[in-house]
Structure 1
Amino acid sequence: MESFGVHNLSLRDIAAEIGVSHTAPYRHFPKKMDLLLAITALGFKELRDTLREAWEISEEPSEKLKKSGENYIRLAWRNPRRTELMFSGEVIPEGPIPIDLAKYGEEAYYELFRVVQYGQEKGVFQKEINTDAMAMTVWSSVHGFAVLNERYIKSEDPAVRERVEMQMSLLLTLVIDGIRTL
């Protein structure tokens, strides 16, 4: 998908790339949408896992949140088309949302939510702000930065990549300072 893009992805191309018969993928994914739903679910699972890793880094809420932001951004940069798929609204099941997709999406959000909540409980982040609103603001900030800078982090110019890394650090500092207890 990262090579072809979401719109050009076909089960036949996937079969050719992995060296199986062109009908083999259809045994697992009767329609392209079924494959896209599975890719999206796995994306949220990996996001959940990478945010969960950040929880272990420190007892300090600000460090946990900084690492969560870094992990989110780097994961999005490694998988830009999948990230686009996860948040574009293009993956719409014909019936109810598959259980694993809903579960992993909620769990990914919860990993960020619990860092913010922990920071509020420890008195590091402002308690006056609704936890959900604060977590969504953080999520939106890091997601927006990741998407806006995805093409620059892959630049051949080391100075450009270094600038993007510095800007990521600045963004996370500003976000954390913005929610810190006054």
Structure 2
Amino acid sequence: MSSVKAVVPGEALGVEEEAIPVQGVYVDKQGYLRALVVGTVVMDKLKKTIMVRPANKRELGLRPGALVEAIVVSMSDDIAVLNIYNANGVPVDFSGILHVTQVSSEYVKTLWDVLRPGDIVRARVINSFIPYQVSIKDPGLGVVAARCSVCGDLLYKAGEKLHCASCGSIENRRIGVGYVYVLR
């Protein structure tokens, strides 16, 4: 079934081949599973998952309404998978999901019309469990950095479109406030 053990942040819990990290666990560069917070390890040997249940419930997790920055890891027409790396200015490491209905108040046929893998987005968390669901509907939220789909160079903002100085490509995104590369 499961085994239980108390741990502190950074404590080695095993190697990534042994279990899938679920919550409160990260994989370091050498492939070791390590505790992210003080808490109790819960290892489910049947499901081959491992998590650290925090001693202090406030220590782990995001709350609805939190502003996050994330990179788009993969996507389909209606779902984008995100790696959330910053929440309210604090470094974190969580998974996120952006559904096409959370992009705009207006109808969006496909996510490919508003973002691409590799884009950096500013979003708002809308649930309280992993994977976090996020929204970029609010004014000011959206893509804050992007690369060209054709050549991979940084895109700069000119008006409401993103342009590539290298290959001349012009691309659509839902651009957020504070886009990092703006033509002056």
TM-score (norm 1): 0.28
**Structure with greater proportional helix content:** 1
Please identify which structure carries the higher strand content: 2
